[in-house]
Amino acid sequence: MEQIYRIRVVAIGIDSWISDCDGDPGRTKVEEHAKLYYSKGEAESTLKELQEKYPRRSFYIDPLYKSIPKS
């Protein structure tokens, strides 16, 4: 299994996820529309940038697992 990540945002007690849509920052309430990060380092780097830019919001890395079919 390959591990992938997404970043969860909690603002005013509402969960959402970082996405590629417009916004400050761009986010969605639909988990399937969340931006995916294919390395932990990329997710951590983005998380750090978001925490610095938006200190009043809470951000978390959510690990996901993706099945890769055997060939």
| Neighbouring C-beta atoms of residue 33, cutoff 10 Å | 14
Bridging pattern class, strands 58-66 and 14-18: unpaired
Q: What does the pLDDT look like over 24-58, one tens digit per residue?
A: 889 999 999 999 999 999 999 999 999 999 998 99
pTM: 0.83
Two tokens at 27?
A: 């986010």
**Proportion of the chain above pLDDT 70, given as a percent:** 90
* CB-CB contact of 3 with 65 (8 Å): yes
Q: What does the pLDDT look like over 2-30, one tens digit per residue?
A: 789 999 999 888 899 999 988 888 999 99
Instruction: Say if residue 34 is exposed, middle or buried (CB neighbours under 10 Å; 0-12, 13-18, 19+).
Output: buried
